[in-house]
Amino acid sequence: MHPNPGKTLRLPLDTGARKTIAVIGDVMIDRYLTGKIDRISPEAPVPILLHSNDRAVAGGAANVAVNIVALGSDVRLVGVVGSDPDAEDLRKILVELGVAASLVIDPERPTISKTRIVSGRQQFFRIDREFASEPCEDVQKKIVHAARAAILEADVVLLSDYGKGLFSDLVLKHVINAAITAGKFILVDPKRRTFESYRGADMIKPNSSELSAATGLPCNTDREVEAASAAIKSQFDGTLLVTRAESGMSLMKPGKPVYHFTTSALEVADVSGAGDTALAALAVSIAEGRSIEEAAVLSNFASGVAVSKLGTAIVSRTELNAAIARSETTVQHPGSLASPLEAAEKAAGWRQKGERVVFTNGCFDLIHAGHVELLSSAARAGDRLIVGLNSDASIQKLKGPTRPIQTETDRARIVGAIRAVDLVVIFDEPTPIALIEKISPDVLVKGADYNEDQVVGGDLVKARGGRVVLVPIVAGRSSTKIVERIQL
């Protein structure tokens, strides 16, 4: 369950030193030959490109590394290149973009390259040069040596497997073992037919086709993805983040509910490199200390930005934050008064998107600084804040016939107008236990004048994997004291 992007994800979490991520994988160079097509060749029924421009960018694991730097972290990149001009061009690109790379030379193999022929926003065809087999044993040893050095400097280890030969059984085994020994979080973008070889990693990010191939099960719907994820446990028992193109992403964390995220892309121009960008955002977020759920949300946003660009794209932190900010326009207007049933349905929908639902309650008769602090703190504890409001009849039973001072309708409007609040629900019972059961919040917030074991519904929330948060009381602030001062 992760934060509502409009509330918290724009805030920089990491205020200390830049994090470092070791990226080990199949590096490549992406070339683009662009021009204008306005006629067909008389020699054969093919279009003629009037060439106007060439450009080259980092591809594969190198593109992951470039995106990591753009998102605010440092990189130690390990890969294999040939002894050719493509390797020299790739090195220059990486240096210019601030990527520290250890590129092992294999003179028997070409540097992996993809050359795309493009006119306008249309890609016509692609020319690939790549490995045909695994590197020789000597080159594999050099890869492992470079990988071990990078791992020791890193906060997170990312394996970008494009199935182009770098990750032989030997290399993969030694790299994962080195990362485990060093106590580093291991994130894998898999390309093998099955996932057994990635055991020991903390998280893998297959796409739906790769998950389907590994399990032999369809992965078109949410339920099918959930079934395939359950089946894959015999091969890999860590966390899965399944990318599903226009269907978004699905996060499966052991022992936790499954979360499905809809795509954040506004317009799809080119999907080239979008998976690399999503992987980079995932790694950066984890390195910065964000939860897996938060990292998945950021990864989804980063992918949405990448596919809106033409060609293999780099997404900066500024662009990612801007995309998150734009999402605020789609969230529900704060402070809506809802029935218990409506609130329960809203809460279920938010959780389905991976958002943490927070609940707090009170009379909120005369709003004061203590109330504002409670609500602000509650909002920071999660992503969506639902406030349970004692009805007039409930308050009269609790505090006598002279209270409340304001009607439940007025109190609901005032509480709902506070920026931190997403929903207000009025309840008639002496306690909100029935409302808590119906809404099933992930976080329950109460003032610190209670002990945790005294908070109504606390045991219920914790039994479901949630938590109770106690907010310090603002001294000298209460509705009762305000009433007493008015009477004096």
Active site residue 276: yes
Beta-carbon-side half-sphere exposure of residue 394 (alpha carbons within 13 Å): 17
Active-site annotation holder among 276, 365, 392, 442:
276
Catalytically annotated residues? 276
